[in-house]
Homo-oligomer: A and B are copies of this chain.
Amino acid sequence: MNTDAPSPIRPTDDEARSLARDLMNKARFAALGVVDPESNAPMVTRVAFGTTPQGGPATLVSDLSHHTRALKANPAASLLVGEPGSRGDPLTHPRLTLQAKARFLRHGAAGYTEMAAHWLRDHPKSRLYIGFADFSFVLFDVHAAYLNGGFGRAFVMTPADLGL
Instruction: Name which residue of chain B comes closest to A39, CB basis.
Output: B99
Do the beta carbons of A42 and B86 come within 8 Å of each other?
no
- Which residues of chain B have C-beta atoms less than 8 A from A69's C-beta? 1
The complex is assembled from copies of this chain, and their number is 2
Do the beta carbons of B78 and A43 come within 8 Å of each other?
yes
A5 to B143, CA, bound (A): 34
Residue-wise, chain A 97-124 has the 8 Å CB interface mask toward B (1 for contact) of: 1010000000000000000000000000
- Which residues of chain B have C-beta atoms less than 8 A from A134's C-beta? 5
Do the beta carbons of B33 and A78 come within 8 Å of each other?
yes
A-B contacts, 5 listed (Cβ < 8 Å): A8-B65, A39-B76, A42-B42, A44-B44, A46-B90
